[in-house]
A and B are shown apart, each in its own frame.
Chain A
Amino acid sequence: MDNIQDLADYVLTYGQKKRVSYIEARAISGEDKSIGSRNGEIFTAGSSSNSGIGVRVLIDGGMGFAAFSRLDKKVLKETIDLAISMAQKSFRKVPLSIGEPVVSEAKWKIPYKTSFADVDFDTFLTLNKEYSEAINRASEKVGDIKIPNSNFFIQSKTYEKYFVTSEGTKLNSHHEEITGYSFINTQSLDGLEQRFMNIMGTGGWEFFKESKIFDEIEKDTIQIAFSTQAKQMKFDKPIDMVVGTEVAGIISHENVGHPSEGDRIMGREAAQAGESFWKTLKIGAKVGSEHVSVSDDPTITGSPGFYKYDDEGVPAKKRELMLEGKLNEALLNRDYGARFGLSSNAAARADGYNREPIIRMASTYIEPGDFTLEELVEDVKEGIYMKSFTEWNIDDVRYQSKYVGQECYYIKNGEIQENIRIKRPVLELTSVGLFSAIDGCSKEVAFKHTGTCGKGDPMQVAPVYLCGPELRMRNIRLN
């Protein structure tokens, strides 16, 4: 990618000529492989290459962003010139800043064994066979329950990223990523359930063997099929809830991760992705029980959100968002680090060369506690074990949340009744109500639940972990 790197370097030279106060260039060049199938039949497959450069520029207190896919200097100059001219006409009352200077110089890569670039297409196509076999095995184990739809899509991304700034940062990185999903419909005489399961990670071809993802899909499909036979149950009074690691994961992401984003707290995303209930609170405010601590960590090897440097060149680090029920740390980039009177904690991510870096989560999870699952359940007199969810729903300040259970069991006298499945119980709680009700977490965090997080305009999709241990909530009235 010499030519594209030369052009990225030229961006800095061009910026100096224009007397900008800051300029950066992010050049990306890579190849993707994809395969999509419906009920085992491949409907799309292939590989493609893409490349381009994104530029951020600060001038006269205004910010411009320029992106182009045609790699020539004429286009480079035209797009940057227009971005600069528009930035100069912003007439901000408070000039924008990029925060304290950052200088990083490194070459780094995602840890991997076999690059997807070295996997031939015939080998890549075998993923569909493995997926179909997993669905067939599940189908054989669920009796008369039908699986009328099974859709599979998988995509590998191999790309080089070159990031340079007028402050002296120069980063070369090599990336290997996996994104995809399994979608199934399962149907019995009693009901119908749908399941969308993300398949995501960083690493090479070995991901598919090491993650045992097709075994996971088989097990999951079986349980979703049996969930079609669940029965509705009404509770006249509040009950205790034990939620599984998947439900804990979505809670960590939606009720803690999003509201901790510094740009939301200060209003930058207000018109689309929204604001945060943290806005009216202070760091240290109590919003939950002492059993709840939540972190976000981009340094977990193999996680979908793994990086060594963020998209502003700041070295990655773990962030402790909530500590023992109290707000502790916001996710920050350079700009919002300065606004908070702090430094960036490396939360800037851009989902392509043509997107500005904004504050994002990486791997958000509720920290483990001291219990086993059996211990969490053993003193529940009557309740529900909500192992997985179907619908999730939350307001833009991340306060009013709703989680609808999918694989759910009745708990009676301290035991999960595996033969009594409960149909779609609804948790509809405020963030404070939810976290205040937690009185115990299990010992193990399941680092396996993945998702895509949407934010920004135009929309940017960030691959993330959403994880946690099992949680127990007391005295919950279901909706």
Chain B
Amino acid sequence: MNNEITQTVLDYLVSKGVDAAVVHYRNERDRQIKFSENQIDTNKVWFTESVDFFMAKDEKTIGAGLSIPENDQQLKLILDNYYKTLVKLTPSPLYKDIFEGPQPTYQKLNTNKVRDQKFDTIALEAPELVNGAIEESLNSGSKRNAGTLFFGEIHRHLMTSKGINTSFVHTYWDFNIRAMDDGTDHTGTGNIAGAILSEKGSELLNKIGQQAGETCKKMANAKQGQAGTYDVILSPYVSADILSALPQQADPLSIMFGYSGLKDKMGEQLAPDFVTITDNPTQENSNVCNPFDYEGVPTRELPIIENGILKNFIHNTSTAMMFDAKSTGNSFLGDSGGGLRILAPSFHSLNFKPGNSTLDDLIGFNTKPVIYIQNSWYKRYTNQLEGIFSTIPRDGMFLIKNGEWHPIKKLRISDNLYNVMKNIQAVGKDIQNVKWWDEYSDFYPHVRIADLNLTAATK
């Protein structure tokens, strides 16, 4: 840890006479194994140190992310330049204040469940873990496999001009695999995430490899699907992709910038009363775990949609003051490009509360044929405020009719987020920590949706 630089930056900003300052030191040791065609392509190792800071004076604000300067003199020159720029600006429409100490008590987390004690040695075992999962998929019926194993250790140290001085260390990992035959139509997938790779890593990766291989095999001889309106069962991966989209608009920044349609919907019934979705960074053994936000506010599980009703927006101190609310522990020094940082609310990890249904229960919910969708990608909007979107099923899609699974392909989900949420019929009890690429990183179960619109190419 490099606590000295956090203190040096904070002291210097305070000496310049700022009204508020946040300094966040981050030291990341990340590793990734990328594989394709059943072989490892690249082994990547990153060592990244950075200091993010935010300062405010007369409601003018600047945030930035810095590589570690060579010495204090260089650091102070950089900070002087930022300060000179700060005083030339106009007050920010996004800023009111930051959290005022004294420092609160944060959730006590079990170190063994948030930090992999074998992190330093697991990197050399990781190629073997990946090759094992590939083997499981091949044994289960696939011919080609691609994916990534990502894992890392993150040290955070936070100091603010209003009395916060705290730190946290955690590890994360996530694994995804796509299983294919010789062509491109018959594919399966699996992904999983957590905190402690050395604990059951081999077993879990093999299980996901097997799942991907089995789905690939079941997709053999898939037929062109027929466009129409269907009841569907979304796997936890697709649930995370689609059903997190509307809760993620419960963000005051999105509302202020015109990206969110939830501005006037607080208290409205958006989904059936058995649907509850929270933002929750307090779970041990998950890939996302933060006991405090970037202002030092304790994090907590926050209901976004509770019993189907829009219950809360996420907030930091400033947006809470603007919306006549309280901070929800969601302040984040987020990247707005060019190393610049905005102190603004951000989600941690969405959790869809599990229901009581098994997969068989979801299939047998009624006697109608139902389509099972294993994965989806490329969600795009015709209009985000209206919720009109499309996304493409991939890596396993089956028409389930009279208890038989028929593989189908080449359909597109073309619908409206508000309709999809309202049409949730039943929820699985099998919640999973899922993470795939830049698409999602959440906890979601299987979910059954009524009357989803599926389209296909006309030519």
Q: Complex Cα distance A113/B455, Å?
A: 50
- Do B457 and A356 touch (CB < 8 A)? no
- Do B340 and A34 touch (CB < 8 A)? yes
**29 chain-A/chain-B pairs, Cβ below 8 angstroms:** A32-B339, A34-B337, A34-B339, A36-B342, A41-B93, A43-B342, A44-B63, A44-B340, A46-B63, A46-B82, A63-B43, A67-B47, A69-B48, A70-B49, A82-B123, A83-B43, A90-B39, A90-B127, A151-B258, A270-B178, A391-B381, A393-B392, A394-B378, A395-B410, A400-B457, A429-B458, A429-B459, A434-B459, A457-B32
- Do A393 and B390 touch (CB < 8 A)? yes
Contacts of A64 in B (CB 8 A): 42-45
B421-454 to A contact mask, C-beta < 8 Å, 1/0: 0000000000000001110000000000000000
Kindly identify which residue among A38, A46, A50 contacts B62, using a CB–CB cutoff of 8 Å.
Answer: A46
Contacts of A192 in B (CB 8 A): 383, 385-386
Stretch at the interface among B6-14, B65-73, B105-113, B302-310: B65-73
For the complex formed, measure the closest distance between the CB of A331 and the CB atoms of chain B, giving whole angstroms.
17
Kindly identify which residue among B88, B148, B176, B380 contacts A393, using a CB–CB cutoff of 8 Å.
Answer: B380
- Do B46 and A68 touch (CB < 8 A)? yes
- Do A395 and B144 touch (CB < 8 A)? no
Q: Complex Cα distance A274/B184, Å?
A: 9
Contacts of B102 in A (CB 8 A): none
Which B residue's beta carbon lies closest to that of A193?
Answer: B383
Which of A43, A183, A280, A395: most chain B CB closer than 10 A? A43
- Do A43 and B40 touch (CB < 8 A)? no
Scan residues 54-68 of chain B and give those whose CB is less than 8 A from a CB of chain A. Answer: 61-68
- Do B459 and A476 touch (CB < 8 A)? yes
Q: Complex Cα distance A341/B147, Å?
A: 26
Kindly identify which residue among B66, B90, B184, B257 contacts A149, using a CB–CB cutoff of 8 Å.
Answer: B257
Which A residue's beta carbon lies closest to that of B384?
Answer: A194
- Do A157 and B338 touch (CB < 8 A)? yes
A153 at the interface (CB under 8 A from B): yes
How many residues on chain A are close to B (CB under 8 Å)? 102
B94 at the interface (CB under 8 A from A): yes
- Do A45 and B89 touch (CB < 8 A)? yes
Contacts of B127 in A (CB 8 A): 86, 89-91
Kindly identify which residue among A48, A148, A280 contacts B258, using a CB–CB cutoff of 8 Å.
Answer: A148
Contacts of A458 in B (CB 8 A): 32
**Beyond A51-B67, A63-B41, A69-B48, 7 extra complex contacts between A and B, CB < 8 Å:** A33-B338, A48-B338, A64-B45, A86-B33, A270-B36, A271-B36, A477-B459
Contacts of A185 in B (CB 8 A): 258, 385
A174 at the interface (CB under 8 A from B): no
Kindly identify which residue among B50, B183, B436 contacts A279, using a CB–CB cutoff of 8 Å.
Answer: B183
Which of B40, B42, B44, B131: most chain A CB closer than 10 A? B44
For the complex formed, measure the closest distance between the CB of A339 and the CB atoms of chain B, giving whole angstroms.
10
Given A44-B61, A62-B43, A394-B392, residue A86 in contact with residue B66 (CB < 8 A): no
For the complex formed, measure the closest distance between the CB of B315 and the CB atoms of chain A, giving whole angstroms.
17
B418 at the interface (CB under 8 A from A): no
Contacts of A153 in B (CB 8 A): 336-337
Which of B63, B65, B380: most chain A CB closer than 10 A? B380
B177 at the interface (CB under 8 A from A): yes
- Do A43 and B42 touch (CB < 8 A)? no
A261-281 to B contact mask, C-beta < 8 Å, 1/0: 000001111111011110110
A49 at the interface (CB under 8 A from B): yes
Kindly identify which residue among A46, A86, A92 contacts B85, using a CB–CB cutoff of 8 Å.
Answer: A46
B359 at the interface (CB under 8 A from A): no
- Do B43 and A428 touch (CB < 8 A)? no
Contacts of B37 in A (CB 8 A): 266-268
Which of B45, B50, B258, B339: most chain A CB closer than 10 A? B45
Contacts of B89 in A (CB 8 A): 42, 45
A459 at the interface (CB under 8 A from B): yes
Scan residues 370-410 of chain B and give those whose CB is less than 8 A from a CB of chain A. Answer: 377-378, 380-386, 388-392, 394, 410
Contacts of A90 in B (CB 8 A): 39-40, 43, 127
- Do A354 and B383 touch (CB < 8 A)? no
A478 at the interface (CB under 8 A from B): yes
Contacts of B148 in A (CB 8 A): 271-272, 457
- Do B68 and A70 touch (CB < 8 A)? yes
Contacts of B61 in A (CB 8 A): 43-44
B325 at the interface (CB under 8 A from A): no
Q: Complex Cα distance A423/B85, Å?
A: 45
Q: Interface residues of B toward A: which range?
A: 35 or more
For the complex formed, measure the closest distance between the CB of B236 and the CB atoms of chain A, giving whole angstroms.
17
- Do A194 and B385 touch (CB < 8 A)? yes
- Do B257 and A151 touch (CB < 8 A)? yes
- Do A83 and B44 touch (CB < 8 A)? yes
- Do B336 and A49 touch (CB < 8 A)? no
A189 at the interface (CB under 8 A from B): no
Q: Complex Cα distance A75/B67, Å?
A: 14
For the complex formed, measure the closest distance between the CB of A119 and the CB atoms of chain B, giving whole angstroms.
13
Contacts of A75 in B (CB 8 A): 47
B128 at the interface (CB under 8 A from A): yes
Q: Considering the complex of A and B, which 10 residue pairs feature the smallest CB-CB distances, nearest first?
A: A149-B258, A433-B459, A48-B339, A86-B43, A32-B338, A34-B338, A270-B146, A90-B40, A271-B146, A391-B382
Contacts of B410 in A (CB 8 A): 395, 399-400
- Do A428 and B412 touch (CB < 8 A)? yes
A122 at the interface (CB under 8 A from B): yes
B109-129 to A contact mask, C-beta < 8 Å, 1/0: 000000000000001101110
- Do A400 and B412 touch (CB < 8 A)? yes
Q: Complex Cα distance A43/B89, Å?
A: 9
Contacts of B180 in A (CB 8 A): 267, 270, 275
Given A42-B92, A393-B390, residue A479 in contact with residue B455 (CB < 8 A): yes
Kindly identify which residue among B70, B81, B94, B437 contacts A272, using a CB–CB cutoff of 8 Å.
Answer: B437
Kindly identify which residue among A71, A268, A392 contacts B380, using a CB–CB cutoff of 8 Å.
Answer: A392
Given A49-B67, A87-B43, A354-B48, residue A121 in contact with residue B88 (CB < 8 A): yes
- Do B93 and A79 touch (CB < 8 A)? no
Contacts of A330 in B (CB 8 A): none
Contacts of B438 in A (CB 8 A): 454, 459
A105 at the interface (CB under 8 A from B): no
Which of B176, B381, B389: most chain A CB closer than 10 A? B381
Scan residues 274-292 of chain A and give those whose CB is less than 8 A from a CB of chain B. Answer: 274-277, 279-280
A65 at the interface (CB under 8 A from B): yes
Contacts of B184 in A (CB 8 A): 275-277, 279-280, 397
For the complex formed, measure the closest distance between the CB of B454 and the CB atoms of chain A, giving whole angstroms.
11
Q: Complex Cα distance A121/B81, Å?
A: 10
Contacts of B342 in A (CB 8 A): 36, 43-44
B78 at the interface (CB under 8 A from A): yes
For the complex formed, measure the closest distance between the CB of B386 and the CB atoms of chain A, giving whole angstroms.
7
Q: Complex Cα distance A424/B456, Å?
A: 17
Q: Complex Cα distance A326/B150, Å?
A: 39
- Do A270 and B33 touch (CB < 8 A)? no
Contacts of B189 in A (CB 8 A): 271
Q: Complex Cα distance A194/B81, Å?
A: 37
- Do A43 and B338 touch (CB < 8 A)? no
For the complex formed, measure the closest distance between the CB of A3 and the CB atoms of chain B, giving whole angstroms.
8
For the complex formed, measure the closest distance between the CB of A447 and the CB atoms of chain B, giving whole angstroms.
24
- Do B458 and A395 touch (CB < 8 A)? no
A424-438 to B contact mask, C-beta < 8 Å, 1/0: 100011100110110
Q: Complex Cα distance A73/B307, Å?
A: 56
A222 at the interface (CB under 8 A from B): no
Contacts of A65 in B (CB 8 A): 42-45
- Do B338 and A155 touch (CB < 8 A)? yes
Which A residue's beta carbon lies closest to that of B44?
Answer: A65
A85 at the interface (CB under 8 A from B): yes
A72-97 to B contact mask, C-beta < 8 Å, 1/0: 00010011001101110111111010
Contacts of A471 in B (CB 8 A): none
Q: Complex Cα distance A266/B92, Å?
A: 49
Q: Complex Cα distance A430/B36, Å?
A: 26
Kindly identify which residue among B78, B259, B337 contacts A49, using a CB–CB cutoff of 8 Å.
Answer: B78
Scan residues 175-212 of chain A and give those whose CB is less than 8 A from a CB of chain B. Answer: 179, 183, 185, 192-194
